[in-house]
Chain A
Amino acid sequence: MKGETPLVIGGKEIKNRFFLGTGKFKSKSDMKQSIIESGVQVVTVAMRRIDTKRHPENILEYIPEDTILMVNTSGARNAKEAVRIAKLAKEASGINWIKIEVINDSKYLLPDNYETIKATETLVSEGFTVLPYMYPDLYVAKELQKIGAAAVMPLGSLIGSGQGLKARKFIEILIWEIDAPIIVDAGIGKPSQAAEAMEMGAAAVLANTAVASAGNPAAMARAFSLAVKAGRMAYLAQLNENKDVASASSPLTGFLYDEKK
């Protein structure tokens, strides 16, 4: 069995390898219960203009104090906008962990890897802990690692699609070739898919829609957290490889009633 190595990001040891997004919850109390019952340590939040016709509500009040907050740059269409959102988050609240999310396509919501590299470079040089969300491309991942990304977050499949690990083969290559933690983000629709990512050797999994849209979000968050733990355990225990032919689990000799020749 492989020994567990701690997941350290931005100088902090992360014991729970399930990261939770806070969007789309029906209520703030559903969100809070999901964080508490799953024991997640890292959660993402976003920043938006306030609708001045409604009462502003501070989501941070519903997130337990010892939680590590990571601000995503959703809404950014290029590196410049992502950098602006990151700086705003830091100045307003001191949050230093940034999930770079640069999207310029409203149909598939695919991340723009080129702008993501540019934003990562700027923010790393300014002392942020940067976790870029990206399309799983080996050259881009290598570049992100080189310029100091704290982790690389490839998409499993399209955001919010629940399609699981459509990009499995390419994520596997990143896991094999990149030393920075690989955190699978986006498209993870059920706990079994999160477990699958962890069995492959992903360092962590981030999910949001699958939990927030579940009938019982807090129970689903807990199921994800357990699946991530189980997947990690299976990875460390070293999975047996797939074969194309059967391999009996009971001996194929010494059958009862066989005639001796």
Chain B
Amino acid sequence: MNITVNGLKQTIDNIKNLQDLLNHIFEKDKGIIVELNKEIIHRDQWKEQPLKEGDNIELIQFIGGG
């Protein structure tokens, strides 16, 4: 399945939902904000959120800024 994560096209296999994807990318998922096709998916919905071909995912966080 082909998806885009933070602007990078990726091919992923054996990943059913958003939580699987985050576990695949990060050791810890603290402080992550997820947008799927420009809609925020809240943390408690990650496990239930299936992924499909062509999904566009943005992984965002708060950082220091002035």
Contact = CB atoms under 8 A, between A and B. Distances in A.
Interface residues of B, number: 23
Given A50-B60, A88-B60, A56 B66 contact: no
A248 interface: no
A206 interface: yes
B44 interface: no
In which size bucket is the chain A interface? 35 or more
B26 to A, nearest CB: 6
Given A49-B58, A92-B33, A209 B66 contact: yes
A55 interface: yes
A74 B62 CA distance: 12
Interface string A195-213: 0000000000011110010
B13 interface: no
B66 A49 contact: no
B48 interface: no
Interface string B7-50: 10000000000000000011111111101000010000000000
A60 B62 contact: yes
Contact of A46 (B7, B59, B62): B62
B66 A55 contact: no
A6 B60 CA distance: 36
B25 A52 contact: yes
- Which of A56, A92, A207 is most buried by chain B, counting CB atoms within 10 A of its CB? A56
A44 B65 contact: yes
21 contacts: A22-B64, A22-B65, A22-B66, A23-B63, A24-B66, A25-B64, A46-B62, A47-B63, A48-B63, A50-B32, A50-B59, A50-B60, A56-B30, A56-B31, A58-B31, A72-B66, A91-B40, A92-B60, A206-B66, A208-B66, A209-B66
Interface of B: 5-7, 25-33, 35, 40, 58-66
Interface of A: 21-25, 31, 44-50, 52, 55-61, 71-72, 74, 88-89, 91-93, 159, 186, 206-209, 212
